[in-house]
Every structure is written in C-alpha cells, then in structure tokens.
Structure 1
Amino acid sequence: MTKTITKPRRSQADRSAATRAKVLAAARDVLCAQGYSGATMHAIRDAAEMSLGAIQHQFPTKAKLMAEVAAEFAAYRTRVYTDAIRRGTTPRASMENLIDANFAMVSRPEMAAVLEIHLARRNDPDLDREVGPSTRRFDRRVRLWGHFILRAAGIDNDKAYQSLQLLNNAVTRGLTVEYIRNPDMNLIDRSIATWKAQMLAMVFGS
C-alpha cells in the first residue's frame, strides 16, 4: 500500500511573508512599466493577481506600500555596499568597490522604481512622510561610509566629499534615467568608467 506524503502546511507567518514579497514585486514592476501615477493599487492588484483586500491587509495605503518598496531596496543596497567596502584591502580599493557596487544598481528595476517614488514625494505629503525616515537613514549610512574611507586614507575634507557625493548621486540617477530611455549597457558602462576615473582622481589625487 502506497502512503500518501502530505506537505506540511505553511505557517501564517510564511504565508504573510510570501504575500508581501509578491505584492512588493508587483509594485516594483508596475512602477517600472507605468511610473508612479500608473502604479495604482488596482494596477498592482492586477499584476499581483490577488484581491485588493489581501494587499490592503498588508499595506493599508499606497504610500505605505511605496515606502516598503523603497525601504526593501535600501536594505539590499546596504548589504551590497557593506560587503563591497569590506572586500577592499586599502581605502582606495574600498572606494572603488563602493563606486562599482553603486553603479551596478543603475540597470536594476528597483532603481527605476525607487526613483519614481522619490520624484513623487514632491507632491504627495503622505508618501514623503512614509518614505522620508528610511531614506534619511540610508543617506546617513552612505555619508558615514565615505567619511570612514577618507579618514582611513588620511583625507580630511568633508565639505569636498559632500559635494562629490551629491554629484555622484546626480550621475547615478541620471544614468538610471538614461538606461530606462535607452538600455545600452555598453554606452552606460563607458560613461561609468569615465566618471569613476574622475571621481577617484578628485578624491585621491591620481
């Protein structure tokens, strides 16, 4: 007699986590394809193939859902950047690794999705309130990473680094937009190499 093997039932926590992951992936994809205005809760519902009620049980408002998309990507970037810095055997190598890890994000759909979210914050107070805290935490981490790398290299010029970091953010976001418009990675990579060389020269002098 053949015994029927039954799979153990997933816990409520596992089911909830799977639902959240599915909704977040759907929100990211809709943001990339249709922009923030097109990423309505109904559009996300259709992409996730679940009921609006199930989505709102996890994320009561669009602002909270968008904030979680941004926070999840910030957490991912934090892990990647931390690992990149630790792999550097010198301050310059750590900075190079950090630059490389940052620009590897340009072609990721999450980068485009989060860019849409941050642009929408200007005219959406609820969104700005929800997204602001995690964004500020991530920005502080990035500033501290740069600060520690420069200190390790014996460089003491925080104002110059802050200006350079602002420029780097602008280049990163600009290349993200360019990738959305024309996903030619050869061209993007050449542009990144040019900026990387300039940035390292400005920081380390050669």
Structure 2
Amino acid sequence: MAPAAVIDEIDMTTTLARPRRSQADRSAATRAKVLAAARDVLCAQGYSGATMHAIRDAAGMSLGAIQHQFPTKAKMMAAVAAEFAAYRTRIYSEAIRAGATPRESMENLIDANFRMVSRPEMAAVLEIHLARRNDPELDQEVGPSTRRFERRVRLWGHFILHAAGIDNDAAYQSLQLLNNAVTRGLTVEYIRNPDMALIERSVAIWKRQMLELVFGP
C-alpha cells in the first residue's frame, strides 16, 4: 500500500474511532467560546462597545447560536461576572487554607486578590459593574451572584479575624471597602499603563499597611 494510502487509512480509522461529543459538551464549548469573546471585547472596547454583534464577530459564530445560549446581553454579562466570581472564590479559598496562622491567611488573601488586577476578566467585570448604574436589567441579572460573592469574602475576613482573637467587624468592613477601592483603582491603572512592577510595589505598600492596621506591627 502506498504511503499516502496508509496515512489516509489511519486518518479514517482515527476519525471513525473518535467518540462524538454529546450535545451538552457542544453546548458547553459554545458557551465558553462566547464568554471568552465577550470578555475580550469588554477589555478592548468597554461595555458600550461590547454589543452582541461585536461579540458575534469576535466569537466567529452566528448571532442565533449566541442567543441560543444567552438570549440577552444582560444575561451574557451576568455569566461573565459569575464565571470570574467562581474562579476568584476557588483561588481565594485555596490561599486562605494555605496560611498556617490567621495573619498568613490574610496575607495570602490579599496577595491572591491583587494578582487579579492584571487579569483581563478583572477589567471586563469592572466594566460590567460600572454599567449596572444605568442599566436596571443588567443590575438585576448581575446583582445576585455579586452579592453572594461579596458576602462570602466578608465571611472569610470575619473568620480570619475571629481566629486571631480580633472582634472588630466595623473596622474590618472599613478596611475591606478601602481594599476594594484600591483593587479597582489599580485595575484601571493597569489598563492605562500595564506596568506590573509598579503595581506590585504599590500593592506591597498597601498590604503592609493593611496587615499592620489589622494585626499590629
């Protein structure tokens, strides 16, 4: 048999032996592709530029296929935010568990949080949250998962402080608000000037101050 015929036969055998993906697998792959495209467009063009048509072009699929997964832009944006919240939840919980002491757990949590600043998902989700102010439908879709995530982070902080014998929830809430503001501000700065070395130096200063405020020198 000629070499080309052997290759053709092997290719055909491989194709025939390859199991067909289930409808659920195909749907999940389409969903992941759409969400990745939405994230990229949000980062590049902002919320107003992330139209269904722009996302369709970035994903390279029909508008009908996208709308089968996400009937509205608000539902798609909510899925982008929820997916990133789930990722952050996993990373933060692993960081906390890796700490041998409450202080180490808090330090790990701060480090894990600021590593998010350079991720495109962080910029994308920031765009979504800013748009919630003037879009009631978006706010309604995004609100529930956002509140669950924020409540979980607050509880983690409380548990860490209580394990350290610190009982000052009001002070922690103020620090958390400041930490959120610094995180979002640095995300904007990274978008404007992606100098990670500068971001890391700024984070080191903020982390040192936060730890000293909570645990002392």
Give the TM interval when normalised to the shorter protein.
over 0.9
Cα distance in 1, alignment partners of residues 51 and 146 from structure 2: 22
**In structure 1, what is the equivalent of residue 148 of structure 2?**
137
2:184 to 165, 173, 180: 173
SS in 2 for 1:30: helix
Q: Are 1:16 and 2:27 counterparts?
A: yes
Cα distance in 2, alignment partners of residues 85 and 68 from structure 1: 26
Q: Are 1:55 and 2:33 counterparts?
A: no
Aligned length in residues: 206
**In structure 1, what is the equivalent of residue 6 of structure 2?**
none
1:105-135 CA-partner distances (Å, limit 9, x unpaired): 0000000000000000000000000000000
Equivalence map 1:71-90=2 (5 Å): 71-90=82-101
Which is worse superposed, 6-15 or 27-36? Answer: 6-15
**In structure 1, what is the equivalent of residue 213 of structure 2?**
202
Q: Which amino acid aligns with 1:108?
A: R
Cα distance in 2, alignment partners of residues 54 and 76 from structure 1: 25
SS in 2 for 1:104: helix
Cα distance in 2, alignment partners of residues 32 and 201 from structure 1: 35
Tell me by how many angstroms 1:205 deviates: 1.1
Equivalence map 1:7-156=2 (5 Å): 7-156=18-167
Gaps of 5+ in 2: 2-8
Gaps of 5+ in 1: none
Percent of aligned pairs with the same residue? Answer: 86
Larger Rg: 1 or 2?
A: 2
Where is the helix percentage greater, Structure 1 or Structure 2? 2
Q: What TM-score do you get using the length of structure 2 for normalisation?
A: 0.94
Cα distance in 2, alignment partners of residues 194 and 88 from structure 1: 20
Tell me by how many angstroms 1:8 deviates: 1.2
Which is worse superposed, 39-48 or 2-11? Answer: 2-11
Q: Which amino acid aligns with 1:156?
A: D
Q: What TM-score do you get using the length of structure 1 for normalisation?
A: 0.99
**Backbone CA RMSD of aligned residues:** 0.8
1:124-156 CA-partner distances (Å, limit 9, x unpaired): 000000000000000000000000000000000
